[in-house]
Amino acid sequence: MPQLNDRVETHSRVPDTANAETTDTVVIKTPEKVCGMGHRMKRKEDPRFIQGKGRFVDDIKLPGMLYMSIVRSPYAHAKILSIDTKAALAMPGVVAVITGQDLKAAGNLHYMPTLMSDTQPVLPIDKVLYYAQEVCAVIATERYIAADARELVVVDYEPLQAVVDPHQALKDEIIVRDDKEKKTNHVWHWSAGDKAATDAVFARAAHVVKEKIYLPRIHVCSIETCGMVANYDKVREHMQIYMTSQAPHAHRTVFALVSGIPEHKIQIISPDIGGGFGGKVPVYPGYVVCAVASLVTGKPVKWIEDRSENLQADSFARDYHITAELAADANGKLTGLRVKTISDCGVADAAANPSKFPAGLYSIATGSYPLEAADIVVDGVYTNKPPGGVAYRCSFRVTEAVHMIERMVDIMAHDLGRDPAEFRLANFIKADQFPYKSCTGWVYDSGNYEAALLKAMAMIDYAGLRKEQLEKRARGVLMGIGISSFTEVVGAGPAADFDILGIKMFDSAEIRIHPTGKAIARLGTKSQGQGHETTYAQIIAEELGLPAADIQVEEGDTDTAPYGLGTYASRSTPTSGAAAAMAARKIRAKAKKIAAYLLEVGEDDLEWNVDRFQVKGSPDQKKTIQEIAFAAYTNHPPDIQAGLEATDYYNPPNLTFPFGSYICVVDLDTGTGQIKVRRFVAVDDCGHIINPMIVEGQIEGGLTMGLAPALFEEIVYDENGQNLTGTMADYLVPTAVESPKWELGKTITPSPHHPFGAKGVGESPTVGAPPAIANAIVDAMWHLGVRHLDIPITPQKVWKALREHGVGN
Ligand code: CDP
């Protein structure tokens, strides 16, 4: 497998395209009964969810099913002296206890490869490496018996000193992975941009600002934890797996490679998923042990994490320690960016990035600004923490990049005494510069940053707020206004650059039209709540004129869906969404031949009109898509085959670059440090919109997920590697009570290369919101001398900063 040490990022050439016009009106071309793109169609999946009739992994009950419970380490770093399983095995109902030794004996399954070509312990033999690490697993006839027996397993540990700070880890005094040949905690070094050019830009810069920014480890905290039901049939030599998987096909391939079970003998079914947000992309040890448990016992085995296990052992994101410098010329034009970053990987580089991008798409860090040069460096480091690197509702490290650049631009604006909005407007990449090639190699497909920010400013009355701020400041009342004008990069991805373990990151759709004009569509992605059953049906309805209500959409079963790389990083619309349109267009091409045959005209005499082919100039001579579908099975032209179906594997020519401008207004209580987000305006641009209601839902949810790390969420470890935030009483997830009323606006700048001009949207708000909130809080205190606060910005941090700067002493 490829090694990721010392990589320099490169990008393939992408085709030239012209920038698109910006509007703010959603295009609707089909009538209500067809419900194609642009309609606010109610979600087809919701009737089953609101009636409690969803089918999640934990709803699966198979005859004779056993239950698995995992014994976890109380230490972050310790030798395992012995594991005594006798008492547990003696408990009535216990069927087996699986240890690392058992996995080793079963064919070296005690280690597994990660998606980043690193290795990760499944169950340890000699040493535990992180708090809550899986140590062994108890299999029993009842879930509660398995949990009780877990308490009877006696593990004798010899505690070792842990290293939890990656800067300390880089000294290599404690080696986290002494199973590796190289005795170092330094995992990889990656760079993008041009160091020499950046040094030259900084040498001639009139202004430079520098800041250390930490984006702490956070957790995706989806409502449903991770789980699996593994069902190995010894007679058929067949493994059926129900799994909380955002990428079932990729997981099937990984399982086949690791276990040696032939891939056609593995079926992975991802049923309904209660939120993924990137946390259900990696393969966690529990999945592997559960599958082995079924192999060993010959029975179906269920494993469902409880809330604490989920919060302590997996689904961790961020943990980036950033030092950034931003340069500007004498006129305040931004010119250069220098970024050094330490990525805390935990005990393994198990991030779910595309293989060639160990730091994900972090090199989008130049953001919405036409910099002359950038030098971006990241070093991956092992520490005694669970593996991190989950792309939590973000396209592989874009959240980190956007937070950094939007904080730095604000600091520069304030340092230069410029208004942050006016400063951004002066510095943006201009609409006529698209397609725009950034100095780190990305080709932004389309954009109009000025339009989005001006709209947000108008919606919130920016000028009025600045007046109010001045007037209040004179009275010692603190309010702040924060802006974030972010550029996203989603839709991984073009096969030339994007793969996971060598599998190219295309995605797929297969559509079959039945004789009565109803249809089934299967796709390689997997919804976790995004509403794919509705929006894919709307895309096909738009292309074929079949009512969206007549199109059944299925994802997540590897035996039926075409191969795909799954849903994360807002890639579904740019990839499978495009494949759905392309497959539908193939069907329309065949439908045209059938219509020409039925109407006894040439194909050139026909034109498409919403749901029918009609003779040009004679619209009464027509065949509807339903009539054509029937003919495809009953009366098709003799020289073409029966049936009406098509498959498309779509390799996008480029990524899509959604963007937006967010403005946040906060009020600070100088007595308590309390932060009130008084207003938050979000103007998003995701190109053409399939379903405005779903897009608004994605944005509102995503904004709350952006509020979370900005003000509340952080996974904290003590110096021994103990997780101090391992319960929901310590890890503060915002609810509706903490969320402000989100005020949404939009601009529409289509993607010029996407088949219907759409860009992804799911993660834009999670990426864009934190810097807007942080910028607002610092803006409220800048005049006191506060330059930066790391997120989460808690009332304690504000209170302390105010006291340190002379307020309230
Ligand atoms: O990959 P994921 O589904 O998480 O992200 P996405 O492609 O951004 O789509 C999220 C949801 O928003 C899906 O239901 C999309 O069909 C919908 N969407 C839309 O209606 N219009 C867009 N331009 C983009 C997404």
- DSSP letter at 687 equals B
pLDDT at 809: 66
Give yes or no: residues 107 and 66 share one domain.
yes
Residues 78 and 132 in one domain: yes
pLDDT at residue 717 tops 60: yes
Whether residue 529 is found in the same domain as residue 416: no
Residues 717 and 763 grouped into a single domain: yes
Nearest to 611, CA basis, from 8, 112, 76, 32: 32
Are the beta carbons of 408 and 367 closer than 8 angstroms?
no
Return the bridge partners of 377, or none. Answer: 191, 340
The whole domain housing 592 covers 32-54+507-650
Q: Which residue do the tokens 């989950």 mark?
A: 390
| H or E stretch at 216 | strand 207-219
Q: For residue 197, is it within any domain?
A: no
Q: Is 493 in contact with 504 (CB distance < 8 Å)? A: no
CA of 687, closest atom in ligand 1: 23
The DSSP letter of residue 576 is: I
Nearest CA to ligand 1 atom 5: 570
Q: Are 217 and 346 a contacting pair, CB within 8 Å? A: no
| CATH assignment at residue 245 | 3.90.1170.50
Q: Tell me, yes or no, whether 170 lies in a domain.
A: no
Beta bridge pairs of residue 745: 683
Q: Residue 552's Cα: distance from chain center in Å?
A: 26
| Residue 336, in any domain of the structure | yes
Average pLDDT, the chain: 96
| Domain containing residue 49: CATH number | 3.30.365.10
Q: What are phi and psi of 575, to 5 degrees?
A: -110, -75
pLDDT of residue 311: 96
Domain final residue pick, 598, 633, 650:
650
Residues 117 and 75 in one domain: yes
User: What is this structure's pTM?
Assistant: 0.97
Contact 768, 683 (CB under 8 A): no
Please tell me the predicted confidence (pLDDT) of residue 17: 77
- Is 769 in contact with 698 (CB distance < 8 Å)? no
Residue ending a domain, choose from 289, 313, 337? 313
Q: Looking at the 3D structure of the chain, how many domains does it have?
A: 3
Distance 762 CA to ligand 1 centre (A): 6
The stretch 104-119 carries a mean pLDDT of 92
Looking at the chain, the whole-number percentage of residues with pLDDT higher than 70 is 99
Shared domain for 95 and 139, answered yes or no, is: yes
Q: What is the 3-state secondary structure (H, E, C) of 260-299?
A: CCCHHHEEEECCCCCCCCCCCCCCCHHHHHHHHHHHHHCC
Residue 13 neighbours by CB distance under 10 Å: 10
Residue 5 confidence (pLDDT)? 53
Catalytic residues: 246, 393-394, 763
Dist. CA 549 → ligand 1 center (Å):
18
Domain assignment of residue 6, yes or no:
no
Quick one: which of 21, 367, 330, 297 has its CA closest to 139? 297
Tens digit of pLDDT for each residue in 472-515? Answer: 999 999 999 999 999 999 999 899 999 988 899 999 999 999 99
Pocket of ligand 1 (CB under 6 A): 530-532, 535, 567, 570-573, 686-691, 694-695, 698, 758-762
Instruction: Assess whether 531 and 660 both reside in one domain.
Output: no
Same domain, 545 and 664: no
Q: Who's near 668: CB < 8 A, 6+ residues apart?
A: 478, 479, 480, 674, 675, 676, 777, 780, 781, 798, 802
Q: Does any domain span residue 207?
A: no
- What pLDDT is attached to residue 56? 98
Reported as a single tens digit per residue, the pLDDT across 398-444 is 999 999 999 999 999 999 999 999 999 999 999 999 999 999 999 99
Task: Quote the ligand 1 centre to 610 CA distance (angstroms).
Answer: 23
Residue 191 within any structural domain of the chain: no
566 with 475, same domain: the answer is no
Residues 6+ apart with CB under 8 A from 107: 260
For position 16, what pLDDT does the model report? Answer: 74
Residue to substitute in 573, 575, 657, 691 for testing ligand 1 pocket (most ligand atoms within 8 angstroms of CB): 573
Is the pLDDT score of 6 beyond 80?
Answer: no
* pLDDT tens digits along 16-63: 777 789 999 999 999 999 999 999 999 999 999 999 999 999 999 999
Same domain, 98 and 235: yes
pLDDT of residue 3: 45
Query: Does residue 607 sit within a domain?
Result: yes
Confidence of residue 282 (pLDDT cuts 50, 70, 90): very high
| pLDDT for residue 8 | 79
Which of 511, 523, 56 has the alpha carbon at shortest distance from 245? Answer: 56
**569 Cα nearest atom in ligand 1:** 1
pLDDT at 1: 37
Cα 128 from chain centroid (whole Å):
29
Mean pLDDT within 309-315? 96
- Could you give the CA distance from residue 748 to residue 725 in angstroms, rounded to a whole number? 41
CA distance 454 to 416: 21
The Å distance, Cα 781 to ligand 1 centre, comes to: 37
**Among the atoms of ligand 1, which is closest to the Cα of residue 759?**
23
In this predicted model, what pLDDT tens digit does every residue of 359-392 receive, in sequence order? 999 999 999 999 999 999 999 999 999 999 999 9
The whole-number pLDDT of residue 9 equals 83
Q: Which of 628, 650, 672 is the last residue of a domain?
A: 650
Find the helix or strand (DSSP H, E) in which 771 lies.
helix 764-781
CA of 400 to the centre of ligand 1 (A): 22
Report residue 707: phi and psi, to 5°: -60, -35
Domain check: are 260 and 288 in the same one?
Answer: yes
Residue 634 lies in a domain: yes
Mean pLDDT to the nearest integer, 258-266 = 94
* pLDDT tens per residue across span 526-566: 999 999 999 999 999 999 999 999 999 999 999 999 999 99
The per-residue pLDDT for 2 is 39
Q: Whose CA is nearest to atom 12 of ligand 1?
A: 695
- Examine residue 386 and say whether the peptide bond preceding it is cis (omega within 30 degrees of 0): no
Question: How does residue 4 score in pLDDT terms, banded at 50, 70 and 90?
Answer: very low
| Ligand 1 atom nearest 763 alpha carbon | 8
Q: By the 8 A CB rule, do 247 and 260 touch?
A: no
In this structure, are 307 and 360 located in the same domain? no
Q: How far is the C-alpha of 681 from the C-alpha of 689, rounded, in Å?
A: 19
Query: What does the pLDDT look like over 602-660, one tens digit per residue?
Result: 999 999 999 999 999 999 999 999 999 999 999 999 999 999 999 999 999 999 999 99
Query: Does residue 103 contact residue 122 with C-beta atoms inside 8 Å?
Result: yes
- Tell me the C-alpha distance between 113 and 141, whole Å: 31
* Beta strands 436-437 and 443-444, pairing class: antiparallel
